[in-house]
Amino acid sequence: MNPVRGETMIGFLHWIAREHPEITALRGMEPEVLMGLINRYEAGRLDNNTNLTHKWREGLRYLFQSSGDWSSYDQARDELDRLERRRR
């Protein structure tokens, strides 16, 4: 199964920066907390939707552990770096 598209991940990262400026790191966040934030971003669409939940989990794995450029994930990594630089 493919992860969520890179553009969707970028939208989530922009939402985090705007709605939760206190969050300055995602990589070390507890998975349940991170998925809860994603569910809020998705307006509850992850509830009882294992397919979408799996796509988001795969997207996070790809964002954090890969260096590939599938579907704008290189741009999503740039956004993640900007978010995490805010804490310095």
Given this model, what pLDDT does residue 88 score? Answer: 52
Task: Report pTM.
Answer: 0.92
**How confident is the model at residue 61, as a pLDDT?**
95
pLDDT means per 10 residues, the chain with 88 residues, are 92 96 92 97 97 97 88 92 81
**What per-residue confidence (pLDDT) applies to 87?**
63
Chain centroid, CA 61 distance in Å? 9
Determine the Cα–Cα distance for residues 65 and 17; give it in Å rounded to an integer: 21
pLDDT score of 69: 80
